[in-house]
Amino acid sequence: MSPTRSDSGPDAADPGRRRSGQLESQIITVLTEAGLALTPGQVRDRLAPQADLSYSTVVTILTRLHAKGAVIRERHGRAYHYAAVRDAAGLVADRMTRLLAAEPDRTSVLRRFVGGLDAGDEEILRALLRDDAE
């Protein structure tokens, strides 16, 4: 029996494993909701207690987010304090923009993207484009 889409891929071997970018989004959400800069330990503590994340994992993700320009950091004593530059939706939008920019045939990519949207999302996109045209 061949694997289906739902049981193949890098995350299939470990169902508790997060999808790529999911932890980044969760950390951005924690920082956005906090409304102030947090240390990696504070971020880890505010994530779901069942997340069972190590301090070094949180530091690694925060460092990556800083390199992407999604968070800013300031050193206070021995620890960095991190604050979100944009929310989780902004992070996803940045990722989509980078992926699109890397493709030589942007028209085909956009056509397939729009063709894959459900009716509700397509209507939202059309409304947003109409609003920007006005």
How does the average pLDDT of the chain come out, rounded?
86
- The tokens of 46 are what? 């505010």
Radius of gyration of the chain (CA): 18
CA atoms within 13 A on the CB side of 17: 9
Q: Is the separation of the CB atoms in 95 and 21 below 8 Å? A: yes
Q: Is the separation of the CB atoms in 58 and 14 below 8 Å? A: no
The CATH code belonging to domain 14-84 is 1.10.10.10
How far apart CA 131 and CA 134 sit, in angstroms, is 5
Taking only the tens of pLDDT, the chain with its 134 residues reads: 444 444 444 444 455 566 658 899 899 999 999 999 999 999 999 997 767 889 999 999 999 999 989 999 999 999 999 999 988 888 889 889 999 999 999 999 999 999 999 999 999 999 999 987 66
15 φ, ψ (degrees, to nearest 5) = -60, -20
Neighbour-count burial of 103, counting CB atoms closer than 10 A to its CB (0-12 exposed, 13-18 middle, 19+ buried): exposed
In degrees, rounded to 5, the angle at the alpha carbon of residue 66 between the alpha carbons of residues 97 and 17 is 75
Structural domain boundaries in the chain: 14-84, 89-133
Please give the model's pTM, rounded to 2 decimal places. Answer: 0.66
How far apart CA 92 and CA 28 sit, in angstroms, is 11
